[in-house]
Amino acid sequence: MHSTICDQDFGAEDDSMFVERFLKKFIDFSLMLDFGSVNEQYREKYPFYFERFIINDADETILNKVFPKLLKKINIRRIEKLIEKVNIIHSVICNDKVDISVFGMFKTFC
């Protein structure tokens, strides 16, 4: 008779009993996650991108209102990919710091 690890752990019983005992080892649950929200540290998370801009105090106030609204219905993985893509485009176009008004390009990718 051939013995398997499952037979040793759960006993060599009929199939229905084996399945029941096997499945008791697992817990099945799911969570619904929303998109979350952009917090105030977004510029610290993506400094490589925001350092490409000249941002004064007035621009920062506007940016803090606009950026979270742009990303409101986008999940975090997609946001990260978008910022990576826009950063690449920005680096291809120019290496110098530019005015924050160029940030409008980001909206076209959202």
Both structure tokens of 23: 């499945």
**Which residue did the predictor score with more confidence, 64 or 13?**
64
Predicted confidence (pLDDT) at residue 34 exceeds the cutoff of 80: no
Q: How far apart are CA 106 and CA 110, in angstroms?
A: 7
**Within its chain, how far is the Cα of 44 from the centroid?**
16
Q: How far apart are CA 89 and CA 20, in angstroms?
A: 55
State mean pLDDT over 6-28: 63
Report the residue count for the chain: 110
Q: What is the pLDDT of residues 82-105, one digit of tens each?
A: 889 888 988 888 888 888 877 665
Q: What pTM value is reported for the model? A: 0.58
pLDDT for residue 11: 54
Task: Give 12's DSSP letter.
Answer: S
Q: Does residue 27 sit in helix, strand or coil?
A: coil
**Which residue did the predictor score with more confidence, 45 or 2?**
45
pLDDT for residue 90: 84
Q: How far apart are CA 11 and CA 18, in angstroms?
A: 7
Could you tell me the CA-to-CA distances from 64 to 23, 38, 39, 108 in Å, in that order? 49, 10, 9, 18
